[in-house]
Amino acid sequence: MKSISLVSAPWPLYNRPSIQLGALKAYLDKNLPEIKTHAHYLYLTFAARLGYALYETISTGMWRAEVPFAALLFPEKKDEAARFLATRLKGTPFYRSLDPASLSGRLTEISRCLLDEIKWDDYLMVGISACLGQLTSSIYFAYEIRKRAPDSIIVLGGSACAGKMGLSIVKTFPVIDCVVNGEGERPLLALIQQATEGRKPASTPLKGVVTRQTKPEEIDAAQISDLDTLPLPDFSEYFRDLASLEAKKHFIPRLPIEASRGCWWKGASRSSLPAKTQRGCAFCNLNLQWSGYRAKSTGKIRQEIYALALRHRTLSMSFMDNSIPYTKDVRLFEEISSIGVDLRLFCEIRAGVSLGVLKSMARAGVHEVQAGIEALSTSLLKKLNKGTTALDNIELMRNCESLETMSLNGNLIMEFPLSDQKDVDETLRTMDFSFPFLPPKGISFWLGFGSPAWSNPMAFNITRTGNHPFYRHLFPKKVLAGLVLMIQGYRADKSLQKKLWAPVRKKLAQWAESYDSLHTGRLHEPILSHQDGGGFLIIRQRRPGNAHMIHRLEGASRRIYLFCESQRSLSEILGFSDGIAHDKVLAFLRMMEDKRLMFSEGDRYLALSLKAGGCRGLK
């Protein structure tokens, strides 16, 4: 009986196996043990042969990643694609040294060698995973595999072909027999069972499968209701391929971990967005492939982490979730801590995670978090429907800064079409208080297909949408006309937004420079820290150029300040300071704010300094 092939083409991160291939292979092996499933991590071999540094440079830029194989797919676009690639390489080590023609030659040669090593006509079906930055490479390999296996069924799936995007792809590229919409386990299983009976994908409609005959309103998905029933992902072929490389190319990979699917905030949020606009963050299109939200149990997550660590002898892992579940309490992280090994974990979180939970995460081995900061203006956060406030974000930044073993990455979205002067003024004010903490990365707003802003553009001051103009450098005009793609262009008052946000960009650069200058040398203290003397508190405020300031708080002032290490309402503070005149408490709070030692929003206050030396221990 013929086998099944699962393929991941360039350009995923080379140092971790594909969660899509690992999960699908394990599921198919469990449910179709009589049919062999092989996973082909083509991107790993490409990375090794191109060189890891060059591969990483290309793979970490979405537009850079789509260019090289577009030039191979459409030779008539190679010169234009080469010029475009040069613009996207600015600021990288390969800006002047990389010759696009030479790169195309190397990719062609590596592709030919890889493809010729595999007997493609042994496969009944080839499933190709296409996520961000993988569309052109996936289509290219589909055509090359078709040349070698004209009778194999070629299926595309992944976030790059969710919904109407997938329908446009299957209609535009005849080499693709069908597209899986949403998660792939159940649809792919049904497709294989259908194929073993000699039936083609379009012969009988299948839930979650999109063919050229599918109407837009007929696009649906077939999901696993209970994620605890899924088998442990199988990454064995990634590690086999890694072991086959020459010794100097070996490395210890990071493993992907999946704790949930979908976005709990999208389902739980009380939308602050305009009427007739879908829920979730206004800019986000990360969950198009899922309907609703599901999470594995804490015990299941613990079991998978432990089993994968033992099987693959590695301790570095990344949660692939858009926002890791169970951040309202410590259950998950206590489970992980109980494994008793020194893990190094990455995960994505939302603001609102308490310091207690962050400490539990750190004890479990979380060394890096990506937080959905997005804005330092509460009015803008409301327009983005984040469900958080500037104060929430400042508190998260402060708490992560206090944990010496955990680094925080976050983005600051600028030039959102609904932004106004109030949003910018609030952002600039908040930044005045944020200088002691690691600055977020400033990014310009981009419009994602399927996001609330795309779905209801007029509500966001967007007058027209369509595929991003950059795609013109990659696809011929006739091909592009039939495609619906992930990054969308739009018309709005972009010049006004750039002008509005110019002061924020300037101040963000100053913030980064200030933070870096105060964190030079082998040892450094927090920029804003305190030492507790029992009856008094010493606060040290470090500034660039050695213009440091020292503050001392005595008695009640010390107690109130420490009480506000987590955000407190004015009524809570007044209740805590019972016996002290309210006007004196208010005067103290104003003084702390004037000195940038506390931040307030509405009637809520937060002390900003960290315990000197960080959170010594994580108890």
Residue 329 confidence (pLDDT) = 81
Stretch 409-421: mean pLDDT: 97
Task: Quote the pLDDT of residue 461.
Answer: 95
State the greatest distance between any 2 C-alpha atoms of the chain, in Å, as a whole number: 85
Question: Cβ contacts of residue 494 below 8 Å, gap of 6+?
Answer: 415
Predicted confidence (pLDDT) per residue in 205-223, tens digit = 899 999 999 999 999 999 9
Q: What are the residues facing 41 on neighbouring strands?
A: 8
pLDDT band at 617 (very low <50, low <70, confident <90, very high): very low
On whether the CB atoms of residues 293 and 264 are closer than 8 A, the answer is yes
DSSP 516-536: HHTT-SS----SEEEEE-SSE
CB 29 within 8 A of CB 3: no
Phi, psi of 432 (to 5 degrees): -60, -30
Long-range pairs of 352-356 with CB within 8 A, sequence gap ≥ 24: 352/327, 352/388, 352/392, 352/396, 353/327, 353/396, 353/399, 354/399, 354/566, 355/399, 355/402, 355/565, 355/566, 356/330
How many other C-beta atoms lie within 10 A of the C-beta of residue 166? 28
Quickly state the pLDDT bin for 328 (edges 50, 70, 90): confident
Q: Which helix (H) or strand (E) holds 220?
A: none
Distance CA 46, CA 48 (A): 5
pLDDT at 546: 72
Contacts of 122 (CB under 8 A, 6+ apart): 2, 3
**pLDDT band at residue 616 under the 50/70/90 scheme:** very low
Please give the helix or strand (H or E) that residue 478 lies within, else none: helix 477-481
∠ Cα 299 304 309 (to 5°): 130
Nearest to 372 by CA among 397, 398, 403, 399: 397
Distance from CA of residue 619 to its chain's centroid? Answer: 30
Q: Three-state SS for 561?
A: helix
Q: Measured between alpha carbons, how far is 344 from 364 in angstroms, rounded to an integer? A: 8
**Cα–Cα distance, 610 to 459 (Å, whole number):** 41
Q: Which element (helix H / strand E) includes 150?
A: none
**Which of 222, 225, 236 has the alpha carbon at shortest distance from 193?**
222
170-196: per-residue pLDDT in tens?
999 999 999 999 999 999 999 999 999
In the prediction, which pLDDT does 523 show?
56
Please say if the pLDDT value at position 275 is more than 60.
no
Q: Which pLDDT score is estimated for 268? A: 57
Matching residue, tokens 């190679």: 78
Q: How is residue 278 written in tokens?
A: 């879908």
Name the phi and psi angles at 452, rounded to 5. Answer: -55, -40
CA distance 332 to 222: 28
User: What local confidence, expressed as pLDDT, does residue 243 receive?
Assistant: 97
Cα(18)–Cα(483) distance, integer angstroms: 26
Of the candidate ranges 73-77, 324-328, 444-448, the one whose mean pLDDT is the lowest = 324-328
- To the nearest 10 degrees (0 to 180), the angle between helices 100-116 and 78-88 is 110
Q: Which pLDDT score is estimated for 257?
A: 97
CA separation (Å) from 544 to 517, 531, 552? Answer: 7, 21, 21
Of all residues in the chain, the percent with pLDDT exceeding 70 is 96
